[in-house]
Amino acid sequence: MTTPPSEPLDPTVMKRPSLPRAWYRPTVAGFLGYLLHASSWLVVFGFASMSILGSELPTAAKMVLLVPSVILTGHGFHMLGWFAHEGVHLSLLPNKYVSTAVGCVVGALALFPTYGYGVTHWTHHRFTNQQSDPDTRIYSRYRTFWARFFMGRVAANRGYIRNTVLAALGRPLPKSYHMPFRPRWARFFAVFTLACAGVALVAYVAVAVVAPTYFLVGLLLPYLTAIPTSGLRIYLEHNGTGAGIFRDTRSYVSTFWTVLMFGNNFHLEHHLYPTVPAYHLPRVHHLLQSQGLYARYGAHLANGVLAPLRYLGARYQYPEALIDDLDADPFVSL
């Protein structure tokens, strides 16, 4: 639900509180836990799918069991993309170069154009729902559930791939709020992203030749399910939101979503503090809630397991640019 604000809102003066410095720091345990969480979906449910397929169950029963198993395996690809997202935010490891490089490597397993995504994504965070937000132009075009289902992720990744190729060739990129790397490093990460994706593609082709059944039920079909589901998630986070901090995105709050998304369901908190690792976002949520800031600013919170899904349909639209660019920079730590 969206809480009505308890006072008039002016996006130019709304403030976020400071956080303990420790909450900004990546931890080894958090890094390993994140990687284990993302990869476990692929390993556990990929194995489950193969076990179901090789069982003596009736064909109809196999199909009934395979559908959720394949979808949950696909969630592993989705989470590998989230892991790469953490690298783009320089929140995987203390060194920003290593964080980005590791994100590129792991993201390649999901064939995710990590660096090109970062080019657009930092601009989206800096200017969320404002004139310079590239995502308002990408996602507001698709106004129905099925258009978003089929086109949301495809349209976004097309732009991310283009960014990656342009950067790798040393060509000018669209005006943006760039990641904090000099041009030679930007080009390196773009080339590295493409190289990692190439290695991953060769590996997947090898799996298809050596173990075609596993490739089909453990990799290809799950990957195809992750494309629409990951695209829909973007609409869940932004459909029907407003302008200014606490108003420009949505968190979907329940233990179910926190476990499923490894804390990335706290998307509002992520936008407020984009360099805080995902596994620290639940404590950020509790802090802001204890200070009454959600009620004060009329924050978009969807509580429960099913309630967030209402925002996927045509009743709620991804906003076009709502206001001129604000001066406040969420990447500046408080």
9 falls within a domain = no
Measured distance CA(222)–CA(239) in Å, rounded:
26
- Expressed in angstroms, the distance from the first to the final Cα of the chain is 28
290 falls within a domain = no
Measured distance CA(289)–CA(298) in Å, rounded:
12
DSSP 50-116: HHHHTS-S-HHHHHHHHHHHHHHHHHHHHHHHHHHHHHHTT-SSSSHHHHHHHHHHHHHTTT--HHH
pLDDT tens, 136-170? 999 999 999 999 999 999 999 999 999 999 999 99
pLDDT tens, 202-214? 999 999 999 999 9
Measured distance CA(326)–CA(73) in Å, rounded:
40
- The tally of domains found in the chain comes to 1
8 falls within a domain = no
Domain with 61, as residue range(s), is: 23-242
For 280, phi then psi, to 5°, come to -95, -10
Q: How far is CA 170 from CA 97, 158, 164, in A?
A: 19, 19, 10
Measured distance CA(65)–CA(50) in Å, rounded:
11
229 falls within a domain = yes
pTM: 0.95
DSSP state of 220: I
66 falls within a domain = yes
User: Quick check: 193 and 106 in contact, CB under 8 A?
Assistant: no
pLDDT at 268: 98
pLDDT tens, 235-290? 999 999 999 999 999 999 999 999 999 999 999 999 999 999 999 999 999 999 99
* Structure tokens belonging to residue 95: 């060194």
- C-beta pairs of 223-227 under 8 Å, 24+ apart in sequence: 223/74, 223/77, 223/110, 223/111, 224/74, 225/70, 225/71, 225/74, 226/74, 226/75, 226/77, 226/78, 226/81, 226/110, 227/153, 227/154
48 falls within a domain = yes
The C-alpha torsion from 161 through 92 and 235 to 308, rounded to 10°, is: 160
* Structure tokens belonging to residue 33: 């836990």
SS3 content of the chain, % helix, strand, coil (to 5): 60, 5, 35
pLDDT cut 90: percent of the chain above it: 91
13 falls within a domain = no
Q: Residue range 182-200: average pLDDT?
A: 98
322 falls within a domain = no
* C-alpha closest to that of 283 among 31, 32, 30: 30
At 332, the pLDDT band (50, 70, 90 cuts) reads confident
